Structure 1
């Protein structure tokens, strides 16, 4: 078997193929970032054109998150049934339809419907892309390759912030400028659809379907001949008894424990309050003392720091364990939110307070995007065994998006009722609960193959 196409592959070709597959697949993460981040700058311009209230503002923002929850759980099951590659091709098409629909929406009702459709694609990508990357990656590089998805998510958010600032500052006086901000998202969606035609299917999914010859061929595209053969034998040993996961599988005590850890980890990632800043950062900065156009420009700093922090996080995951990295991130995010709340009480509204809040949101995002988010997405892709990986990740990410929905929907109303300080103090309290959960329940998975992680999870 090992003398098949791999022996005719030039040295280094498998590394280039793995790199290409990784970057193409993570266009799904880029779209996740752009479509969640673009609303940050589009909302102030929608308010007049669509006559928004705090309620409809929250509804438009959170409708994508509601769709994403169901997109995630549905995609998890579909990924197990039809494959990771085919599903990403389908999701690229949904991204195109949803983005075009939001840009063309004549009123709040159609906008909410189009955002739900777009959310199905965002949620599907959020579940499938890290799973796909984890199954393509060799064990020694899994942390760095899977967290490239997080890098692309924050790069998408940065691209949204930059597009918003450019469009808003150049054409902000014209009507319907927000439509162009939303329409830009169709471009990376088209690139994802084209690119996925040149990416191999997940070898582990092929193995779970008993398609061993195709599994070996896929491995030989992204591994050396020796690595492909060794990994083929290891995957086949577990995949041979595998089948598509079902909900009743989680009746097994150890699998139920893994599912609860995955769901808990998903909630931890959201209750830091990160998406309150991602979705409403422009308004937070405007309320702190910047004007709308100045806040759009200042908000770019949040995107730049998020990208830099994600790059740092990728490097750190090759050096330190998942648990200490996540705990450090959670302590950092809670501390920054506490400082934002205190500054909003003690400092008068104006430019000085605006810059103080901006500096603390930048540090908050450094901890979040450099530690909390990359570890969360990586560990969700690691902890579930092969036969329930798609379903388990889908259910966990469903919970994550529902928590995200709760934050996105309630934040404008909380701000209106309680003010920025008390709202952020709520997130500080939730952050303390997150630290306690991680210390008590989260296992360490660094340096283990996915098959070794499965054996560890059975014995927790």
Structure 2
């Protein structure tokens, strides 16, 4: 898709599609400042907190797996519209929940939307953008995810500050933590309406035999001549697989084994979570309070982490189509290994006074804070955006939806394992050893990338093999 292209239309499409990333981030991050509220409202212990926080991940894993297949059946745009509706329903239910059971159901519904958005937006963006700038435009998804997270952190901080605490009464007599969920209705509604104004993916249309419609979309994006050629190229890439996409395509017809490219996708998806990034995003306030910071300071640290994440993603946008995906992943793995090890050391120095309050002595608190934020920067300049970019582009046309379904499912299962286990791990074996586990995962991820991942920079989607 090189040469002339409709920059305005492509930018509009990417802007709308990545609102799904914003919703992904907001729905994931809003829980960060609400844990005191739900703990008090539903009388929860540590296990209960883990289950209520982790409920979204159950829905996300199901949503990611289902959406990959659903996107092949009803289209990329319709799947994103369904996700928008799920976000709306979840926001209203979670804020109004009168019991832990209702809250968990609401968060599972939201998770279905998060999972659907997490796999559908990247593949949609990769299918409507030129190869020369595909990495940059696909990376916008991660910027929006972090913007959503940061937006949730800012909203949580503001509501808690205005009300006098997350559990204090706010507007209409409801506590602030409930409004933290209800505020999500606004971006979810914008997402749903905006999706009405963008076209369906031309590659999906060709797969469904709607070549004329695909050519119309491609002509709007790249001009009539390029459109005709691209429809022919897409059709040629499917020539050996005339049937509709299905999960069985993930097995090599000759050997009967799972295609190697799928194992690479699963590895990228799982390692992105094993480094522990969502401990920062889901439990940031709890984490910093656990080592002596106040709730107000902890919420401000969340905002700082979010702002640094956005800056790191913007750096990725500048670099990803110049130096490639693989170098960024390697730099990220190395940087995360060092910074996570530093955080683990700092947490190992924690002391408890006679009243039971925990603190980090001397300069350990500053060292932990700086290292944790550098870790967030290394993650978001590499594994954060690059993993989603690669999953959206690395698979051949015929298996893209199915491979994304499986990889996305693996990503969210790993996310759930890390996130649900964290509250218990804080107690035993403790923060220091827990963070050494994340350090080990970052260390191994470096060698996984070096041995298994192949560069995709500048390659057309029709040229992907696996």
TM-score normalized by structure 2? 0.92
CA distance change for structure 1 residues 242 and 365 in 2, over 3 Å: closer, same or farther? Answer: farther
Say if 2:237 is the partner of 1:234: no
Query: How far does residue 255 in structure 1 lie from its aligned partner after superposition?
Result: 5.7
Say if 2:55 is the partner of 1:63: yes
CA distance in 2, matches of 1:361, 1:164: 21
Q: 2:279 aligns with which of 268, 276, 279?
A: 276
* RMSD over equivalenced CA pairs, Å: 1.7
Q: Secondary structure at the match of 1:140?
A: coil
Say if 2:337 is the partner of 1:334: yes
Structure 2: tracts of 5 or more residues without a match: 170-174, 352-358
Say if 2:36 is the partner of 1:36: no
Say if 2:322 is the partner of 1:319: yes
Say if 2:412 is the partner of 1:413: no
Structure 1: tracts of 5 or more residues without a match: 1-11
Say if 2:71 is the partner of 1:79: yes
- Counterpart mapping for 1:8-407 below 5 A: 14-173=6-165, 174-175=168-169, 176-240=175-239, 241-252=241-252, 253=255, 256-346=259-349, 349-350=359-360, 352-407=363-418
Q: Is the 8 A contact 2:347 2:360 kept in 1?
A: no
Query: How far does residue 13 in structure 1 lie from its aligned partner after superposition?
Result: 8.5
Say if 2:438 is the partner of 1:427: yes
Q: Secondary structure at the match of 2:455?
A: coil
Length, aligned pairs only: 445
Q: Is the 8 A contact 1:341 1:424 kept in 2?
A: yes
Query: How far does residue 298 in structure 1 lie from its aligned partner after superposition?
Result: 2.0
Q: Which moved more, 1:45-54 or 1:296-305?
A: 45-54
Q: Secondary structure at the match of 2:429?
A: helix
CA distance in 2, matches of 1:61, 1:221: 43
Q: Is the 8 A contact 2:332 2:379 kept in 1?
A: yes
- Counterpart mapping for 1:427-446 below 5 A: 427-446=438-457
Q: Which moved more, 1:207-216 or 1:286-295?
A: 286-295
Q: Secondary structure at the match of 1:47?
A: helix
CA distance in 1, matches of 2:242, 2:129: 20
Q: Is the 8 A contact 1:143 1:317 kept in 2?
A: yes
Q: Is the 8 A contact 2:289 2:298 kept in 1?
A: yes
CA distance in 1, matches of 2:418, 2:218: 41
Any idea what the Cα deviations from partners look like across 1:397-417, whole Å, max 9, x if unmatched? 000000000011000100111
Query: How far does residue 314 in structure 1 lie from its aligned partner after superposition?
Result: 1.1
Q: Which has the higher helix share?
A: 1
Residue aligning to 1:7: none
